[in-house]
Structure formats: C-alpha cells, structure tokens
Chain A
Amino acid sequence: MSSLLYNPPFAKRDQEQFLRELTELTHFQLEGCEEYRRMWPAWKCAVEVSQFPYIHVGAFKQIALRTVSETIKTGRVLRSSATTSGVSSRIVLDPKSSELQSRSSAAILADYIGCQQRPLVVLDSAIGLRAIGGLSARIAAAMSLRPLASDVMFLLRDSNDPNSMKWENIQRILDQEDELLVYGFTYMLWLAWAKNEIPERVRDILKAKRIIFVHSGGWKKLEAIKVSREELDTMLLATGGQGSKVIDFYGLVEQVGIVYPMCEHGYRHVPLWADILVRDSITLELLMNEPGQLQLVNTISWGAPYHNVLTEDLARIVPGKCQCGRHGKRFELLGRIPNVEIRGCANV
C-alpha cells in the first residue's frame, strides 16, 4: 500500500519513501510475474529510480502480463483505444490497485478542479460500462472523475457518433445545478460539444453555468483536421458561463490512476506517488531539459507490472519551479516518437 497517497499530490517529495515503496513493489512484481522476471534476469536492486526495471509500453499489446499472488485478485481487463497500431494494450485490473488508482486520480484532479462534488456528464455511451470482462480506455478515463461527481450521466446514444447527444437529459441536470463537470476524449469534446449544434434552450442555460471541461486522449485526430488547443478551448468556453475552464490531462491505460493535467502555465506535474524519466531512444541514457522518450513510474499498480513503463511519447523535463506553485518534477509533452516508413522486401 502506498503511504505517499495519503499526502497532498504535489507537496514536497519524500524521495526515500518513494524508493522504498518502489523497491517493495518491484520485488513483488518480479516474484509474481514470470514474464517480467524473464525480461530483467540480472536485476537485483536499485538506488535510483532510473535503475528500476521498466517495461516498454508495446509489450502490453503482445503479452498478457499478470502478477500472481495470494494478495491479488485480478478482474476486468482495461483496453487502450488502439488508435495508432490497431492493437490494444491489455491491463489486468485488480481491486487493490483499483482502490489506490481511484484515490490517486481523484486527488490529482481535485488539485486542479477542486474537490466539491458536482454532476459529471460524460461524452460517451453507458454501454461501455456494462461490457463484461473488459473496459475501454475512454470509460476508464471518465471514471477517474467519478469520486468528484455527485452524479454521472452518459450523454451519447452511440459512443462513436458525436451527433447522438441526448441534450434533453442534460437539461434536467442543469435545472438543478450551477456547476457541471464535462468529460470527453479530446476529439469527441470537439465534435460533440464545441462544433455541435446545441439546442437553443440548452445553450441559454449553459451560458449561466460554470462548466469544467476535462478531456484526454490526445490531439492526433484534431491535429489532422488542424484544430488547435486555443481553438478548442475558445469554442468550449464560449458555451459556458463565468469561471468555466478547460483541463487537458495526459494518461495511459498502462498507468491507470496517474493522470497528468496541464497546469495554467502549460506544464504537467508529477504527484508524490509517481515519477517520470526522459531517456534518449538510442542510448536509453537519461535526459534533462531535452526531448526524449518518456518513462512513467508509480507505486500504486499491483495486479501486473505496469508500474514502470517506457512510453512512446516524447517529453521534456523542465527544470526549475513552476509558477503554479506545485512542487516536484514538471514536464511538457511533445507528442509521439515520429514513426518512420518501414521499407521492406528486397525482392530485387
């Protein structure tokens, strides 16, 4: 159990405690997961975060990793959206980790949007919640806001159709509440809310409410149609009343429970129970203040070794203290490692 979770997420770091917890978790995972053990046959111990054994994010698409222990009861499988490769990552959830992850995401998000409860409107279909055995990344991301919600409403009839919004339902909530939390994958928030035709009556009511828009999932689809962050924010904020705001958070299904919202100064901050490293893709050496491959580490994932993941995202650790006042490491996300065309077949 991570004792660090009982502190405010962006208080001053206790790195020794973090290393102790990471060491315990790593040994637990190595003992319970044969595949992880085979990946790092020579690993014994570490004195720095960079020395702990990580798993490349792509491995979760190829191998069903699971940690076997008497204390772990595995349950549903969380699947990534598979937008890039067409193959989903599979993360085995377990009640112990889920409890920690839920506490973690709530604490992090509360630091950005406050901890008072308000209705949560999700731009997705509730069908995904009822799927047996599996859970999509979209639903999981939405559910990370659940602890901050007084009520949850799924607003899409069809999760893939931005024009299937049930505006009549939102009206019922708005009649009773002054504040509203709206979550959607970034492109869905653009299509279903910012660009959509909102019925006039609903539009008028929204104008008088404080809306906190929270989105995640990345910018790939919006970049393809040349929609900038500024444009998305402006369009969203134009639909809400005074005090409305937009929060963009970064997270992976392979790091469920750890979310990285962007602060008002454009940086993402690392909570006490997590750490990040940036590595050179060629040498795997650590980089500081230079773009490189992002590695995400946490102490709250027990059901499988997804506590230490080398991602395919590019980031830069930014030195110095952020003006937003949050302690600890901060970084900026720089997109994905550029994919190069693979030219093959020497049939010549």
Chain B
Amino acid sequence: MLKYGAALMSKSLRFMQHGMVTAVTLPFDLDTAIQCWLHVRLAMLKHMPAEFTRDEWAYIVSFLSKESLLDPFARSFGARLLEGDAEVSTYIARPVSGVAVWLPNNVSLLGPLMLILLSLTGTRVRMKAGSRATDLTGTFLDFVMRYCPEGSFRTYLNNKVYHSVFGHEDPRNSEMASEARVRIVFGSDEAVAEIDGLAHPPGSQCFAFGDHRSEAWIESGCWNKSTVNDLVKVFSIYGQAGCTSPSRVILINGLYDEALSLRDTILRAWPTIVKRDPPPHLASANVCACQVDRALGWEAERVERNHGVVSVGNFTLRADPALMNLRIVPATIHDAVANLPENIQTVGHALANSEDKRWLALVARSKVLRFVPLRNMHFFGSVWDGNQFWAGIFEYVQFSL
C-alpha cells in the first residue's frame, strides 16, 4: 500500500473571498487527502463492487476529479492563496466537532457522495443508512478503506468516519442527534420532522433535505435531437424517484400538437439512448402506467421494449405517481409558474435565450431552488436545495491581530 505523507500535520489553508481571508484548519493535509481520493479513483477504474450499477460507479468516478474535490472549498471560502501570499487571515474556519447524517432508503449515490464531501471537512462523521435498501455507503466505505493509502487521511477515515445501517426506531438515532453539532437529514418530510424532533444540542444546526420535485422547461421551438437526448438521459436514470429528475416537462408557450411531436421524438430517441432492457417488474409497471394515464385523459404511449411512458396532457389531469412516466404539458410561462409544485427544487431548462433577464426575475420571484441547463439537472455544487450545507460544517472564528 502506498504511503502519502506518513506524518501529515495539521495544516492551515488560506482562501480569499470578497477581500476576506479565511484560514481553514483540517486534521490532515488537503492536497494529500485529495491524492488519496485520486488513488481510490484509480482503483475504481479497475474494480467495481457488485452492489453498484455501472452508471452509479461511473458517476462517483467522475465526481472524484481534483476539480470537483476542491470545488466546495472555492465556493465556500473563495480563491486559494499561495504559500507566501502576505494577506492576513480575518477568520479561521474549523470543522465542527461532529456531523450526523441520515440517508434515505431510496437514494443510491447520496451516501457515497456525502462521504466524499464530508471527508474533506475533517470532521467526525456518523452516517446512518436506511434499513430497507442496499447499503451502498457501507460498500463504498469498505472499498475506500481497501484502497486508500496509509497516512493521516486514512487514519482520519478509520477513526472518525462511522457508518451503520439501522431502522428508524433504533435508539442510535437519538444518540446521533444528541451528540452532533450538525445534523443532515435526507428523506420524506415526515422522516425529516421525526429526526428534527429528537433531542439535540442547543444551537446545533440541521440541514434538512425533504421531498422535492423538479421540472424541465423547454421553450417552444427550442428543442432538437440534442435537447431530447439530454432530457432522456436525465430522466431515465431515476425517473420520478429522483428529486432532481424532471417529474414533468413544461413546453413553454408550446401548442398541444408540438407537445405530441416532442413526445414522439422522445419515444424514438429513448431506446437508442438507454440500450439495456428494463427489469421485468419495471416493464410491467410501465404497461400499467400507460393504461392509467390514458384512462385519466393523457395521451400516453409506451417506449419500445417498455422502457418508459411518455404522455401529453394538461395541468388539470390527475397525474398518479409512476416511476418511468414522463409527462409533457404545453403551457404559457404564467401557467408554468402558477403550477409549480410547492416543493419545487430544480428547473432544468432548454430556452431560446437563458440569459434573458426575465428568467432571472421569474426565478427570483418563485420557489425554484435551482435553474440550470437541462443536462445539468443532476449536478450539484456545494449548495443543495438552497442550503450552503458544506460551509455550514465549519464554525468561524474571528481572528484579527
């Protein structure tokens, strides 16, 4: 096993943002920690645990680039200062003494990605996965510990990062809540309320990521093969189960016939983008979803080989949850905004001119938390659901000499 900086010291990093210099203290050398992650990444290119799908594994591999790993620092603290830069620190950012994370049952990559992001803060992390799903976080942590080089980052992971799987009635939930300075909760709104209701230290922070829905907004006449490919790609990964997945497509200022034409283009494109057959259970569910949608008044068609269902209708039609059912609604901008779900998170757009100031004004007045190009719907920075959660893992010390 490789050794990186056998005696890694606690070292401060300095960043500058808006004229303010922040010294970030970590229990390991950040550059070495990143090297360790890149080393794990190399191993990931050669080995993949059976619990992961290829897409999931590939996503983590792409997330483990040097740029992605440094991105939370840049977004939270600004540009990194070089050794020897003379600026004097005005703040010290140090990781809080402990973070507790509750992962939901149906979220595959969240655990591994949280593990990566939180490991960069150097704080003590206790993660809890749901008991009703494959434990990808545990599998990933085992993999990391197998390939992470010796050194203080590995020691940190070994001694300060804990992961367990247990149910919502387990007393360890209360234990986690009572000792964490920061609680990060993913799950249904009910689950979030339940965790937040557990006794916790006064003044501790809670970042809650509850139920959210997302939409794709495609402007009439502004879609082509590439737009449809992006749409199918972002939707087909998680369907309606993904909170960043478009639960419906709003064809802005489009007519019904254009919506039908968009539907038919999606139907043709889908099997060329998603080549693997769906599992039989999902294929069967799609037969059901198509029939139910039709019965409810949608013009629904099944994708070849039962990959999914694409329907066209309007806002007044009942829309039952169906995993791989992508619904298209032609609507004016006014109606699109008026019919945004209460829990809207991301709007993925394909617009004639996304820099048009009316979009900025419109999003500012709405509850939309992210307004990003269609193809970037699943790609987050360090702001999640409007929360600067990563920067919130640190406490800030005013430091003037």
Chain A residues near B (Cβ < 8 Å): 35-36, 38-39, 41, 55-59, 62-63, 65, 281-284, 293, 310, 312, 337-348
Having A59-B291, A337-B284, one finds 8 other A-B pairs with CB under 8 Å, namely A55-B291, A63-B292, A310-B284, A343-B106, A343-B108, A346-B243, A347-B186, A348-B113
In the complex, the answer to whether A347 meets B107 with C-beta atoms within 8 Å is: yes
Residues of B with C-beta under 8 A to A62: 288, 292, 320
Q: Is residue B43 contacting chain A, with contact meaning CB distance below 8 A?
A: no
Residue among B209, B244, B284 with max Cβ neighbours from chain A (10 Å)? B284
Q: Is residue B189 contacting chain A, with contact meaning CB distance below 8 A?
A: no
Q: Is residue B391 contacting chain A, with contact meaning CB distance below 8 A?
A: no
Chain B interface size band reads 35 or more
Residues of B with C-beta under 8 A to A56: 284, 287-288, 291
B297: nearest chain-A partner, CB-CB: A38
CA A33 to CA B35, docked complex, whole Å: 65
In the complex, the answer to whether A339 meets B281 with C-beta atoms within 8 Å is: yes
In the complex, the answer to whether A312 meets B133 with C-beta atoms within 8 Å is: no
Chain B residues near A (Cβ < 8 Å): 56, 59, 63, 104, 106-110, 113, 133-134, 186, 209, 212, 237-245, 277-285, 287-288, 291-292, 294-297, 305-306, 320, 323, 377-380, 384-385
B291: nearest chain-A partner, CB-CB: A39
Residues of B with C-beta under 8 A to A341: 133-134
Residues of B with C-beta under 8 A to A284: 287, 306
Residue among A57, A63, A281, A284 with max Cβ neighbours from chain B (10 Å)? A281
The A/B interface has a contact count, at CB < 8 Å, of 125
Residues of A with C-beta under 8 A to B59: 348
In the complex, the answer to whether A59 meets B288 with C-beta atoms within 8 Å is: yes
Query: What's the minimum C-beta distance from B212 to chain A, rounded to whole angstroms?
Result: 8
Identify 10 residue pairs between A and B in the complex whose beta-carbon atoms are under 8 Å apart, listed by A's number.
Answer: A63-B292, A63-B296, A281-B283, A282-B278, A312-B281, A312-B284, A342-B323, A344-B107, A345-B242, A346-B238
Chain A's interface: helix, strand, loop or mixed, by majority? loop
In the complex, the answer to whether A345 meets B110 with C-beta atoms within 8 Å is: yes
CB-CB under 8 A for A345 and B134, given A55-B291, A282-B283: no
Query: What's the minimum C-beta distance from A224 to chain B, rounded to whole angstroms?
Result: 15
Residues of A with C-beta under 8 A to B245: 344, 346
CA A288 to CA B2, docked complex, whole Å: 58
B285: nearest chain-A partner, CB-CB: A58
CB-CB under 8 A for A346 and B295, given A282-B283, A337-B280: no
B305: nearest chain-A partner, CB-CB: A282
Which 5 A-B pairs give the minimum distances between C-beta atoms?
Answer: A344-B241, A343-B108, A35-B295, A281-B280, A58-B288
CB-CB under 8 A for A343 and B281, given A39-B295, A56-B287, A283-B305: no
In the complex, the answer to whether A348 meets B104 with C-beta atoms within 8 Å is: no
In the complex, the answer to whether A344 meets B239 with C-beta atoms within 8 Å is: yes
In the complex, the answer to whether A38 meets B295 with C-beta atoms within 8 Å is: yes
Query: What's the minimum C-beta distance from A280 to chain B, rounded to whole angstroms?
Result: 9
CB-CB under 8 A for A345 and B287, given A35-B295, A282-B277, A337-B281: no
CB-CB under 8 A for A348 and B241, given A35-B295, A282-B280, A310-B287: no
Residue among A41, A341, A348 with max Cβ neighbours from chain B (10 Å)? A348
B295: nearest chain-A partner, CB-CB: A35
In the complex, the answer to whether A293 meets B284 with C-beta atoms within 8 Å is: yes
CA A224 to CA B245, docked complex, whole Å: 35
Query: What's the minimum C-beta distance from B267 to chain A, rounded to whole angstroms?
Result: 16
CA A283 to CA B304, docked complex, whole Å: 8
Residues of B with C-beta under 8 A to A281: 280-281, 283-284, 306
Query: What's the minimum C-beta distance from A299 to chain B, rounded to whole angstroms?
Result: 21
